[in-house]
Structure 1
Amino acid sequence: MIDGVVFDKDGTLFDFRASWGGWVQRLLGQIAVDDAHADALAVAMGYDRETQDFVRTSPVIAGTAMDISAVLLPLMPGMDQVGLAAVLNACAQDAVMAPAVPLRPVLAALRARGLQLGLATNDSEGPARAHLNAHGIADLFDFIAGFDSGHGAKPGPGMCLAFARTTGLAPARVVMVGDSLHDLEAGRAAGMRTAAVLTGIAVAADLAPHADVVLPDIGHLGAWIDSLR
């Protein structure tokens, strides 16, 4: 039986390439001093400006704002890591997110099954709430946490365990849903089931060894949960 679902955000609720490619381009427009500098910053972030795509090792995929600022900092003289992370968060707050599926119907259908829903993202909590509010789905979540919410970042289990504490659910009766190894490792470390989705950068072969199931997107999650019941 599954009583609750913890979702990752980027690459899970929202299509990763469609959402964060635009963010990188806007960020480069803000912080790069010239085109060569923009190229160097893009390489550090694992983003190919020509193909407008991410490499599978990009820190943007599963890293925090502090992780991303750490790789950019050597290319940003005169800035400190905390200040640069604040610039990244300010840009992320206004990022235009592309839903991976029609989110409200899918999430509402899960709630109609009696499931409690949480969000555990390595994004900062402020931008995460802004993205959920922009798509009219924040009210469907019982728990929302970012890496800066006091529970640690993934792949640590802190956010997943905080969801279980907040809702009073046993971790074994919760599924963690994500598009990256960080998500799946966090869920496993918390004693939860794990479901991988393919709306991020990772492919099924990367995720399958760490997941109870690999789904095309979260629109298939309800049927899988029903099959367990």
Structure 2
Amino acid sequence: MGTITGVLFDKDGTLFDFDATWGAWAQGMAVELAEGDPALAARLATAIGFDLQAARFERASPVIAGTVAEVAALMLPLLPRHDLQSLVATLDLGAQRAPQVPAADLPACLGGLKARGLRLGVATNDAEASARVHLQKAGVGALFDYVAGYDSGHGAKPGAGPLLAFSAAFDLAPATVAMVGDSLHDMAAARAAGMRAVGVLSGPATRADLAGAADVVLGTIAELADWLDAGAP
């Protein structure tokens, strides 16, 4: 369906395995914020759609595709000693400490895409600072031409703003850019921006969840090279 000139990635559930990464973060934040009160920790977890005992997110959890500010707003009624700004800062700091588990061999996969002459970017609903920390820790920060978070001034997904800012920055026609993500938010953002919608199964969504919204559904980003070699059908 045409030449791909750029690939824009979601971060969590796409570059990094979602449950392995954010399960640890959710557990740690719930316990830390509850200050030793297990009942409060459980309520905080429930508020963000996380099963504390199973260490697993519900498929409708706002953490999967929402911003840190949206997650903080759900926790805030249970934490009267916090205000929204300080809670967002606490959650952001915790996110930077979260152990990132790659969904594929990132240096090999991303390096191969870069060697094809493609522009690479990240559009995440995490904070930009956290995203940059995670990418650097994974050893792939230098491979990206563009990193945008919900707080970078372009809006958040499923809005098209961060996607169109990527294409505009490098004078790429949106139709030649592939937006790769694990959620319906990512697919909706791709559609809104006029980009190719590529789903991956390294997040909580199933193939059935994504199939109707994506142009193609791949197992992980490791399959992108084959998809491109096939002409990005």
- TM-score interval for Structure 1 and Structure 2 normalised by the shorter chain: over 0.9
Q: For the residues of structure 2 that align with 1:159 and 1:225, how far apart are their CA atoms?
A: 23
| Aligned partners of 2:31 and 2:38 also within 8 Å | no
TM score, norm. by length of structure 1: 0.98
Q: Does 1:163 align with 2:169?
A: no
Percent identical = 54
Task: Determine the C-alpha separation between the residues in 2 that align with 1:48 and 1:26.
Answer: 13
**Offset at residue 26 of structure 1 (A):** 1.3
Gaps of 5+ in 1: none
1:36 matched residue in structure 2: 39
Q: Please say if 1:24 is aligned against 2:26.
A: yes
State the partner residue of 1:112. 115
| 1:131 and 2:134 aligned | yes
Among 62, 66, 81, the residue aligned to 1:63: 66
Q: Residue 142 of structure 1 contacts residue 167 of structure 1 at CA under 8 Å; is this kept in 2? A: no
Equivalent-residue separation in structure 1 for 2:169 and 2:32 (angstroms): 39
Contact 2:68–2:88 (CA<8 Å) still a contact in 1?
yes
Q: Does 1:219 align with 2:213?
A: no
Q: CA deviation at 1:78?
A: 2.3
Q: Distance in 2 between matches of 1:204 and 1:156?
A: 23
Q: Secondary structure at the match of 2:102?
A: coil
**Maintained 8 Å contact 1:196/1:215:** yes
Q: TM-score, normalised by structure 2?
A: 0.97
Report runs of 4+ in structure 1 exceeding 2 Å deviation.
none
Aligned residues: 229
Q: Deviation of residue 51 (structure 1)? A: 1.2
User: Is 1:79 equivalent to 2:82 in the alignment?
Assistant: yes
CA contact (8 A) 2:182 2:201 kept: yes
Q: Confirm or deny: 8 A CA contact 1:171 1:192 kept in the other structure.
A: yes
Instruction: State whether residues 27 and 88 of structure 1, in contact with CA within 8 Å, keep that contact through their aligned partners in structure 2.
Output: yes
Give the 3-state SS of the residue equivalent to 2:120 in structure 1.
strand
- State the one-letter code of the partner of 1:155: P
Across the aligned residues of Structure 1 and Structure 2, the Cα RMSD in angstroms comes to 0.8
Q: Deviations over 1:34-83 (max 9, x none)?
A: 00000000101111112111001111111101100011011011211121
Contiguous gaps of at least 5 residues in structure 2: none
Structure 2 distance, partners of 1:67, 1:45, is: 10
